[in-house]
Amino acid sequence: MNETMKYTRNTKSLLFMSFLLIVVLVISSCDTNETQTVATFSELVMADEFDTDGAPNSAIWNYDIGDGTANGLPAGWGNGELQYYTDRSDNVTVQNGVLIITAKEESFGNSDYTSARLLTKGKFEQTYGRFEARIRLPNGKGLWPAFWLLGDDSNGTEIWPQIGEIDIMEYVGDEPSTVFGTVHGPGYAGGESVSKSYKLDNDRFDNRFHIFGIEWGPDYINWYVDDVLYNQLTPEDVPGEWVFNRGPFYIILNVAVGGALPGNPNEETVFPQTMLVDYIRVYKNSNN
Amino acid sequence: MKNIKFTYTKTYILIGCMLMTLLGCERELSEEAVFAKFPTTAEIYIDDPVGLTDQFFRSFDPAAGANVNGFGVDSNTFYEGSSSIRIDVPASNDPDGNFIGGIFEDRGAGRNLTGYDALTFWGLGTTSGTVEVGFGTDFDRPETDPSFAVSTVVQMTSGWKKYVVPIPDPSKLIQETGMFFFAAGGFDPLGDGPNGNEIAWTFWIDELKFEKLGTVSQPRPIAFSGQDIAIQTFTGSEINIVAQGLTIKYDVDGENLEVSGAPAYFNFVSSNTDVAIVNQFGIASVIGEGTTEITTELAGVKALGSLAVSSSGALPLAPVPMRPATNVKSIYSDAYTADTGSDFNPGFGGSTTETTEVGAPGELVQIYTNNNFTGIIFDNTVDASTLTHLHVDLYTNEPGTNVNIQIRDIGVNGEIETNIFTGFPDGDDKDKRFTAAGLTVGAWTSVDIPLDGDLATQKNNLGAIILAGGPDFILDNIYFYKE
């Protein structure tokens, strides 16, 4: 997810890299070095299990409303997105133990689609830790759900990409077996962001729940899906300042529709589409 | 101390009793109660047929035009291994039959396919011709047994490509004998529709098997072509839900595809079973007066589209035509052989009409619902130069129903030409217009329309009957005749 620029990916090289990494991981896992520091993000500091029906817990969640213009962005949240975000129960609700974000096709506020974007800005922010959610993703061309973190803007004194962005999970609905994790920072934002995709073998992200998370500590971020760690980024991996050793960052959950990255919905895209979130949990390093 | 020991002993005895009880509960099901287990063999053709009948390929009936010459195995062209299935599709003018197709059957009692989610194969073609492929078809299956046939149309390419045919609900396939089905006709290089100029071509199929892909999306069932439609009908009528547009959409790895699945995969629900019931073949039988909504599910997913049925009770039969057949050229009647086939659903742009044929054999009628304008388009023109009238029987439940009937002669050029501004015939077309007004509610009204006016001198190329207004009525016994 990026706030202001177009976005491209080189899927082939990402795939190749992911194969290499898996090979490396398999080899290194046979060779546990007893002196390595194992981060144990085991102390739960925030969790929303979405067990109370109705509107999401207002002690944790805020909403972005509209098409981005109220946030000082061009309409479409800077990405040509087509949805109008609302906090109506039509677009965001908790039912049967899951958070449901629903993207609908309807005329609303000069937009053709509605959806929701929840954020913990000002309510829960943290530097480092393990951020994890169990999610079932929507399906279809033009759907662009995400689970991501943005750095606090120090009351507007800092702007993106200097504030830093960690995309724990992004996905486009016409590639139902692939997610990607990304960082944006100064010199590596939007189309230049540092990203890696993870493709499920013989499975999909829209048929059942999967777990998406990062382990984030000083000078590193690890991305995982279910029980597979598929990427690690460190300051050496980004062509600019590593802006992730300062914080804090807040959490965003959203379903975007259309725009430069996923493309727009086509006649095969079925609405409404839902992203279901079973839980979101944040841990911190128990050694801290 | 003694007391404590005693307590332990009691506990042991209690646990022992519980164990014995638990063990006592565990007994094998009798042989009669155990489901027969059928083999789960996935492969159909790899380099040889796998577990298929000795016959391997069973063609469709040559008497119906199936060409049996083009089926074989090719050890020069294959995707993997040492051979593939090669199918030479005949040209449309091939005297030995203008299409090729048939099925592969399991040589045993059938296979358990519940662990798979798709039929897959690799294909290659000499042209970008299309092939209908699927599984679940068995020529020997009694008609009373439900079929789990699935089919889709795929387009071949000049390079090997993997094709996927999703299984709509694998849990239903505990004993399937129909392993593969295909049918293909000549390639139409001009793309000008089926007109006899289609050429012969060849395609190959390899690595044909069932697979558990995991990349097949949930099914998106679509009934009634995705529409919420309403029909007015009567007790004793039947509605074929399959014929009303029943299909399933999927995406596989993000690529959209559509398959048609047999009605036995679906669960049809009637909200009021005193009005209509639906059987496993997707036939809704209207059994009483009132309203009901028919919805459809597939593997727990509700289909897009529904049918609201409103039954007015028993429909009286239309008067039986008494004119001698020699004086009649029939368009639609159970009393006469039709002079030509006709399209009762021409799908005119802007038309809101729903047309459904219902009734028991010999008592069929055409029900028009929500008609603004539609037509009955004759497949071949009718020469009525020696005939004098058009007869139509109309029935309605709505007071004030008026139906405008326009008999159209389409001239020697064979095209329906209508002035888009006036709606009147254009070019070499002529018509006669008649409004059937003041119809009796709840009874049949017979009208006999003279072929006069503009048709008096031109009625040798009658091509259509246009129907405007209504909006809800029933037609039967539509025929031209001589006084």
* Mean pLDDT to the nearest integer, A246-259: 95
Q: Which residues of B touch A273 (CB under 8 A)?
A: none
The whole-angstrom separation of Cα A141 and Cα B169 is 24
**Which ipTM did the prediction report?**
0.74
Count of residues making up chain B? 483
Q: What pLDDT score was predicted for residue B32?
A: 65
Confidence of residue B27 (pLDDT cuts 50, 70, 90): low
Q: Does the annotation count A175 as an active-site position?
A: no
Q: Has residue A79 got a pLDDT over 50? A: yes
Q: Has residue B9 got a pLDDT over 70? A: no
Whether A39 is in a domain gets the answer no
3-state helix, strand and coil shares in percent for chain A, rounded to the nearest 5 = 10, 40, 50
Task: Provide the shortest C-alpha distance from residue A97 to chain B (in Å).
Answer: 20
Specify whether the CB–CB gap between B57 and B44 falls below 8 A: no
The whole-angstrom separation of Cα A36 and Cα A84 is 48
Task: Give which of A102, A101, A144 is closest to A277, Cα–Cα.
Answer: A101
Whether A18 is in a domain gets the answer yes
> A53 touching B, CB under 8 A?
no
Whether A137 is in a domain gets the answer yes
Pick from A179, A205, A267, A268 the residue to mutate for testing the B interface (most B CBs within 10 Å).
A268
- Three-state SS at B234: strand
Q: Hey, what amino acid is at B250?
A: Y
Pick from A197, A204, A267 the residue to mutate for testing the B interface (most B CBs within 10 Å).
A204
Higher pLDDT, residue B403 or B360: B403
CB-CB under 8 Å, A177 with B218: no
Model confidence pLDDT, tens digit, residues B364-373: 999 998 899 9
What are phi and psi for residue B235, nearest 5 degrees? Answer: -60, 140
Q: Where in chain B is the domain with CATH 2.60.120.430?
A: 43-211, 325-481
> B162 touching A, CB under 8 A?
no
**Would you say domain B325-481 falls under CATH 2.60.120.430?**
yes
Q: B220-314 adopts what CATH topology?
A: Immunoglobulin-like (2.60.40)
What are phi and psi for residue B118, nearest 5 degrees? Answer: -165, 155
Q: Where in chain B is the domain with CATH 2.60.40.1080?
A: 220-314
Confidence of residue B208 (pLDDT cuts 50, 70, 90): very high
Task: Provide the shortest C-alpha distance from residue A270 to chain B (in Å).
Answer: 9
Task: Provide the shortest C-alpha distance from residue B304 to chain A (in Å).
Answer: 10
Task: Provide the shortest C-alpha distance from residue B373 to chain A (in Å).
Answer: 28
Whether A129 is in a domain gets the answer yes
CB-CB under 8 Å, B215 with A174: no
**Would you say domain B43-211 falls under CATH 3.40.50.300?**
no
* pLDDT averaged over every residue in chain A: 88
A48, two tokens? 């929303």
> A206 touching B, CB under 8 A?
yes
Give me the number of domains chain A comprises.
Answer: 1
Parallel/antiparallel/unpaired status of strands A83-85 and A111-115: parallel
Q: What pLDDT score was predicted for residue B15?
A: 53
Domain hosting A174: range is 11-25+61-271+280-284
Q: Does the annotation count A192 as an active-site position?
A: no
Distances from the Cα of A252 to the Cα of A1, A92, A96, A134, A210, angstroms: 10, 13, 22, 14, 18
Residues 127-146 of A with CB under 8 A from B: 139-141
CATH code where residue A136 lies: 2.60.120.200
The strand pairing partners of B79, in sequence order, are: none
Whether A82 is in a domain gets the answer yes
Q: Has residue B8 got a pLDDT over 70? A: no
> B253 touching A, CB under 8 A?
yes
> Which stretch of A63-72, A178-187, B23-32, B451-460 has the lowest confidence by average pLDDT?
B23-32
> B300 touching A, CB under 8 A?
no
Whether A55 is in a domain gets the answer no
The whole-angstrom separation of Cα B210 and Cα A150 is 46
Which H/E stretch holds residue A17?
helix A11-29
The whole-angstrom separation of Cα A105 and Cα A85 is 12
